[in-house]
Amino acid sequence: MFRPVIRLSSKRLFSVTPRRSSAIADLYIQQIKAFKPVALSAKDLEGAVQAFQLPAKPAVPSSEISAEALNAYETSEVETAAVPSSSGAAPVEEDWFVFEEETEEHH
């Protein structure tokens, strides 16, 4: 029913945290500021990059594949592996998504 009145002072809105310095951070920043990059010449760049060469074309193995061997492969019978069933009847399909119902214990 009544609204609380919030009064903020401008002095409390800003906070100042002291700067914490670290010897390692100071040395790191000092080294970064002292770094002067050296411009590379065209001669230096040529030594760093190799010229592109296309790979050699592969040779077709003609001695291993012959027309007779290919014809024999095409006319050969297809071999399949069948899983023998223990009872000799048609295989039973299993339902993999059947979950057992848990019985709730009443106290």
Task: Report whether 76 contacts 82 (CB < 8 A).
Answer: no
pLDDT digit string, tens, across residues 23-38: 999 999 999 999 998 8
- Tell me how crowded residue 67 is: count the other CB atoms within 10 A of its CB: 7
Euclidean distance between CA atoms 107 and 105, whole angstroms: 6
Euclidean distance between CA atoms 84 and 94, whole angstroms: 17
**26 vs 59, more confident:** 26
Of 52, 54, 70, 71, which is closest to residue 62 (Cα–Cα)?
70
Q: In three state form, how does the secondary structure of 13-34 look?
A: CCCCCCCCCCHHHHHHHHHHHH
Locus of tokens 């411009």: 39
pTM of the model: 0.25
Residue 7: its pLDDT value, please? 64
Can you tell me the mean pLDDT for 4-16? 62
